């Protein structure tokens, strides 16, 4: 009988959440929603040396911003709480003891210096040292010591660790939902440390105990954890627990070159690798939120990093993703991160937003640039947005695309000036007269009258349209000219034409 789906995202709060971690969270979320299951967030903070203040809050804030908040976590539906491993500390010792008592684990008393010595000796012989079946009986542990000796050492307060006694001579045939059959030789594994005398479990023990107690049905995590899979499966076996199913997600690769996407790639190529901005004493790392990406766009491009629905479809809402998501369609090979494509996704979401909503966002920028707050008519902003948004990836680009709607050009683009010919001033002066006579100052009407005048006098298009545009915009860019004219208004249009006649 298959168990109810319960999946988790289990980050260690060691800094801001990398975009790869966000994708892991997203795939867990989608899998849970698809299967009417539960998605929970567990904070794996047993390594106190690597704890970074603020990181835990950051993780939750990032998931909330993306719209993929967990169903259960610290302070929320704590059905299997606590959800923070440092608050579950007391629990792990008893599970370490169970493994000791069943002969699946042992105490090791080797000091760091002792192990360094053996490591060096191995290196001199061209071998790498791993603590396992080949040498465990020559080292300082409870497999070698008598029961009394071990007891005495423990009683004397000696430092120890508890290591897993990896079974020998076994080939493990395991199943990964994404990778299919995977094979591991137990003889090649080391006897991993599970617990330390400071009372803290290591990642491996805490992770397995919690996944079991929190009734995790599927472990969906990054490929970097694949080498831990045999140990984890062996631990479930040693405890006599049913193991969850496993799925290891492909790496996210650098946009250029080989290897895993790193923060440095982002710094070099100018894109964020974090969902939210993160500031430390060393500086600030940019975030998708602060860069102006919409959360829907970020979710969409992350979902397609290593997954597709089998068709050419690229635009998915979160609900559509949850509907179509299938772990079996996740690729094995790494997924190349494409910052340009990310902008494309943002563009798609931007143009589908309503002009009125975008105008509200843009209003803040315009107010800041022009200092004018009261007289910013939202209808005008909405119209401007409708004219320029096709050309933008972000709201922050709107100003550059539309500043001439708000301010007269202070200079004229050099290479466009060649369109200003000798006869231009006279023609522009006549144009002013035409414009002065127009009462219904709307785009189509102005266009009709201006074109009538041109036809009647046999004036070529280029002779009027380009200098006209240059006068209003300062360059030969922008949307339909008569839309600009209408929005700028009669008086301002004439003033700008007059100024161009005087300066050009």
Asked if 225 is part of the footprint of ligand GLU (rule: CB under 6 A), the reply reads yes
Among 5, 6, 7, 12, interactor with ligand GLU by CB under 6 A? 12
Asked if 76 is an active-site residue, the reply is no
Asked if 10 is part of the footprint of ligand GLU (rule: CB under 6 A), the reply reads yes
**Which CB, 26 or 472, lies closer to ligand GLU?**
26
Length of the chain measured in residues: 504
**Which CB, 42 or 136, lies closer to ligand GLU?**
42
Site string for ligand GLU, 167-206 (x = CB under 6 A): ------------------------------------x---
Q: In the bound complex, what is the minimum distance in angstroms from residue 17's beta carbon to ligand GLU?
A: 10
For the chain, percent helix, then strand, then coil, each to nearest 5? 50, 15, 35
- Closest among 320, 489, 321, 286 to 394, alpha carbons compared: 286
| Distance from C-alpha of 288 to C-alpha of 296, rounded to nearest angstrom | 11
Q: In the bound complex, what is the minimum distance in angstroms from residue 358's beta carbon to ligand GLU?
A: 37
Interface with ligand GLU by CB under 6 A: which range of 10-18, 259-267, 366-374, 457-465?
A: 10-18
Question: 98 — phi, psi (to 5°)?
Answer: -60, -40
Are the beta carbons of 219 and 211 closer than 8 angstroms? Answer: yes
Please name the residue that has the structure tokens 């990406």. Answer: 293
Asked if 207 is part of the footprint of ligand GLU (rule: CB under 6 A), the reply reads yes
The answer to whether 263 is a known ligand-binding residue is yes
Site string for ligand GLU, 41-80 (x = CB under 6 A): ---x------------------------------------
- CA angle, corner 112, sides to 107 and 117, nearest 5? 110
Applying CB under 6 A, the site for ligand GLU has a residue count of 8
**Which CB, 136 or 221, lies closer to ligand GLU?**
221
**Which CB, 211 or 296, lies closer to ligand GLU?**
211
**Which CB, 12 or 38, lies closer to ligand GLU?**
12
Which helix (H) or strand (E) is 171 found in, with range?
strand 171-176
Q: In the bound complex, what is the minimum distance in angstroms from residue 236's beta carbon to ligand GLU?
A: 13
Among 7, 11, 165, 243, interactor with ligand GLU by CB under 6 A? 11
Q: Which two tokens stand for residue 406?
A: 């708000």
Burial class of 297 by CB neighbour count within 10 A (0 to 12, 13 to 18, 19+): buried
Residues with Cβ within 8 Å of 201's Cβ and at least 6 positions away in sequence, in order, are 46, 85, 89, 92, 93, 95, 96, 194, 195, 209
Query: What are the start-end ranges of the H helices in 37-190?
Result: 55-66, 89-101, 112-124, 147-155
Given the residues 263, 336, 363, 451, select the one marked as catalytic. 263
Are the beta carbons of 17 and 48 closer than 8 angstroms? Answer: no
| Distance from C-alpha of 472 to C-alpha of 183, rounded to nearest angstrom | 70
Q: Which residues bind ligand GLU (CB under 6 A)?
A: 10-12, 44, 203, 207, 221, 225
């Amino acid at each position: 009988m298959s168990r109810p789906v319960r999946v988790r995202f289990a980050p260690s709060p060691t800094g801001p959440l990398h975009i790869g971690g966000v994708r892991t969270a997203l795939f867990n979320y989608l899998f849970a929603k698809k299967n009417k299951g539960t998605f929970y967030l567990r904070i794996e903070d047993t390594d106190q040396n690597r704890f970074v203040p603020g990181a835990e809050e950051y993780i939750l804030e990032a998931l909330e911003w993306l719209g993929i908040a967990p169903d259960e976590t610290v302070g929320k539906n704590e059905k299997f709480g606590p959800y923070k491993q440092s608050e579950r500390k007391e629990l792990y010792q008893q599970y370490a003891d169970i493994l000791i008592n069943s002969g699946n684990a042992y105490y090791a008393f080797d000091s760091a210096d002792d192990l360094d010595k053996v490591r060096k000796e191995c290196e001199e012989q061209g071998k790498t040292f791993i603590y396992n079946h080949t040498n465990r009986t020559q080292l300082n542990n409870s497999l070698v010591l008598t029961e009394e000796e071990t007891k005495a050492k423990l009683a004397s307060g000696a430092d120890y660790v508890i290591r897993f006694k990896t079974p020998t001579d076994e080939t493990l045939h395991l199943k990964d939902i994404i990778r299919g059959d995977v094979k591991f030789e137990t003889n090649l594994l080391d006897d991993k440390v599970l617990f330390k005398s400071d009372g803290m479990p290591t990642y491996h023990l805490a992770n397995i105990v919690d996944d079991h107690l929190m009734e995790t049905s599927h472990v969906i995590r990054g490929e970097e954890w694949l080498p831990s899979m045999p140990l984890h499966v062996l631990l479930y076996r040693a405890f006599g627990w049913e193991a969850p199913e496993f799925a290891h997600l492909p790496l996210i690769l650098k946009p250029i070159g080989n290897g895993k996407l790193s923060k440095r790639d982002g710094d070099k190529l100018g894109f964020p690798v974090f969902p939210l901005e993160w500031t430390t004493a060393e500086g600030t790392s940019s975030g998708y939120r602060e860069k102006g990406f919409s959360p829907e766009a970020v979710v969409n491009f992350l979902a397609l990093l290593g997954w597709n629905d089998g068709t050419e479809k690229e635009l998915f809402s979160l609900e559509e993703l949850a509907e179509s998501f299938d772990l079996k369609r996740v690729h094995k090979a790494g997924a190349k991160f494409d910052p340009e494509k990310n902008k494309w996704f943002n563009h798609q979401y931007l143009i589908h937003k309503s002009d009125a909503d975008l105008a509200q966002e843009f209003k803040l920028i315009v107010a800041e640039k022009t200092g004018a707050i009261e007289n910013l008519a939202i209808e005008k902003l909405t119209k401007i947005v409708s004219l320029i948004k096709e050309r933008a990836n972000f709201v922050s680009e709107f100003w550059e695309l539309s500043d001439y709607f708000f301010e007269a050009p202070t200079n004229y683009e050099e290479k466009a000036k060649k369109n200003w010919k000798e006869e231009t001033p006279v023609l522009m002066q006549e144009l002013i007269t035409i414009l002065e006579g127009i009462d219904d100052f709307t785009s189509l009407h102005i266009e009709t009258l201006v074109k009538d005048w041109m036809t009647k006098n046999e004036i070529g298009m280029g002779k009027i349209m380009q200098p006209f545009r240059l006068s209003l915009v300062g360059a030969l860019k922008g949307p339909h000219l008569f839309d600009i004219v209408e929005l700028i208004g009669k008086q301002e249009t004439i003033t700008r034409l007059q100024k161009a006649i005087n300066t050009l």
